[in-house]
Amino acid sequence: MGIFEGKRGLVLGVANKRSIAWGIAQRLAAGGAELAFTFQGERIESSVRDLAASVGSPLVTACDVRSDDDVGRVFREVGETFEGQLDLLVHSVAYAAAEDLEGRFTDTPRDRFWMALDVSAYSLVACARAAEPLMDAGGGGSILTMTYLGGERAVPHYNVMGVAKATLDASVRYLAWDLGQKNIRINAVSAGPVRTLAARSIAGFPTMEAIVEERSPLHRHIGADDVGAAAAYLLSEDARNVTGTTLYVDSGYHAMGM
Ligand SMILES: NC(=O)c1ccc[n+]([C@@H]2O[C@H](COP(=O)([O-])OP(=O)(O)OC[C@H]3O[C@@H](n4cnc5c(N)ncnc54)[C@H](O)[C@@H]3O)[C@@H](O)[C@H]2O)c1
C-alpha cells in the first residue's frame, strides 16, 4: 500500500509537465494520494487538465491567488470534493515581473514589489488559513511550499523574488507555530535551479546553473523529481515531527562559502 493511500491533497502551481508542482504531484499520486489541482489563466488550463486526468484527479479548478474570492471558492470546492477534509497542500506558486528579474533590485517600483510579495508569499498565508478547517476536520495535515536560497543570500538577478522568498520563509515559521496546535505541519523545500517556465524569466538563469554545477559538492543539477522525493517525505507521516523547516535539494550548494 502506498504511503499516501487514503490521503487527499490540493496542488497549486502546475503550469506544465516541467513544473516542480507536477514533479511533486506525481510522487504523491504514485503513493496513492487523491489530488485536486488549480491552474492560473486559460492559457495553461488544458495542459493542467490533461496532466491532472493522467493521475485521476477529481477536481481541476481556476485560482488566481491574488483573489480572496478565488481562494475561498477553491477551498469550498475542495471541501465538497473531499467530504470536508484535506490532508495535503502543495503551494508551488511565485511571480515577479520579468523586468524586475534583470535590472537592479534598487529600482523595483512599489506596485511590482507588492505584487511579487502578494503572489509569492502572502498567498501561502491565505491558502494555509483556508486549508486549516479542512485539515483540522481530519485531525491534522501537512503543507509544503517552494523556496530558494535567494531569500537568504543576495543572488544577482533574483532581486525582488529573493525578498518575497525571505517573507515566505518567515511565514513558514509563524504558520508552523500557529497551526502546530491543530497538528498541521508546514515546511519548505529550497530547490537548486530547475528549468521551468518561471525560471525562464530570470535573467542569467544559465549562469546560476553553471555556478551550481561548478561549485556544489555534488557538481550536478537537480530535477523536479528530486524535489518531488523530498516533498513526499515532508508531506508524509515519516516527517510527523518535522515542521517549520527548510530542506535543501540543491546538490549541497547552500553549504558552500565560495
Ligand atoms: N525552477 C527553479 O529553479 C526554482 C528553484 C527554487 C524554487 N522554485 C520555486 O518553485 C515554485 C514553482 O515554480 P516552477 O519553477 O515550478 O515554475 P512554474 O512556472 O512551472 O510554476 C509557477 C506557478 O506559479 C503559478 N502562478 C503564478 N502567478 C500565479 C497567481 N497569481 N495565481 C496562481 N498561480 C500563479 C503559475 O501558474 C505556475 O503554475 C515557485 O515558488 C518557484 O519560486 C523554483
* 74-83 confidence digits (pLDDT tens): 999 999 999 9
3-state secondary structure of 201: coil
Q: Is 66 in the pocket of ligand 1 (CB under 6 A)?
A: yes
Identify the CA nearest to 202 among candidates 92, 94, 41, 40.
94
Distance from Cα 257 to the centre of ligand 1, integer Å = 27
pLDDT at 200: 83
User: Does residue 61 line the site of ligand 1, with CB under 6 A?
Assistant: no
Return the active site residues.
148, 158
What is the tens place of the pLDDT at every residue in 150-191? 999 999 999 999 999 999 999 999 999 999 999 999 999 999
CA of 1 to the centre of ligand 1 (A): 31
pTM of the model: 0.98
**Where do the domains of the chain lie?**
8-252
Q: Is 88 helix (H, G, I), strand (E, B) or coil?
A: strand
For residue 42, give the amino acid letter. E
- Can you list the alpha helix ranges (DSSP code H) found in 191-223? 197-200, 205-215
Is pLDDT of 204 > 90? no
Q: What is the pLDDT of residue 250?
A: 98
Per-residue pLDDT at 1 exceeds 80: no
C-alpha grid cell for residue 142? 501537512
User: From the CB of 40, is ligand 1 less than 6 Å away?
Assistant: yes
pLDDT of residue 162: 98
The closest residue, in CA terms, to atom 1 on ligand 1 is 194
Confidence of residue 126 (pLDDT cuts 50, 70, 90): very high
Residue 194 pLDDT greater than 80, yes or no: yes
How much of the chain, in percent, has pLDDT values that exceed 90? 94
- State the helix-helix crossing angle for 159-180 and 110-117, rounded to 10 degrees: 40
DSSP notation for 221-247: ---HHHHHHHHHHHHSGGGTT--S-EE
- Supply the residue whose CA is at minimum distance from atom 33 of ligand 1: 64
Q: Is pLDDT at 201 greater than 90 in this prediction?
A: no
Question: How many CB atoms neighbour CB 170 within 10 A?
Answer: 12
CATH number of 8-252: 3.40.50.720
* Residues 36, 101: Cα–Cα separation, whole Å: 31
Residue 15 Cβ < 6 Å to ligand 1: yes
Residue 155 grid cell:
543572488
The C-alpha angle 187, 12, 235, rounded to 5 degrees, equals 30
Give the pLDDT confidence of 89-110 residue by residue, as tens digits. Answer: 999 999 999 999 999 999 999 9
Q: What are phi and psi of 107, to 5 degrees?
A: -95, 5
**Which atom of ligand 1 sits closest to the CA of residue 145?**
41
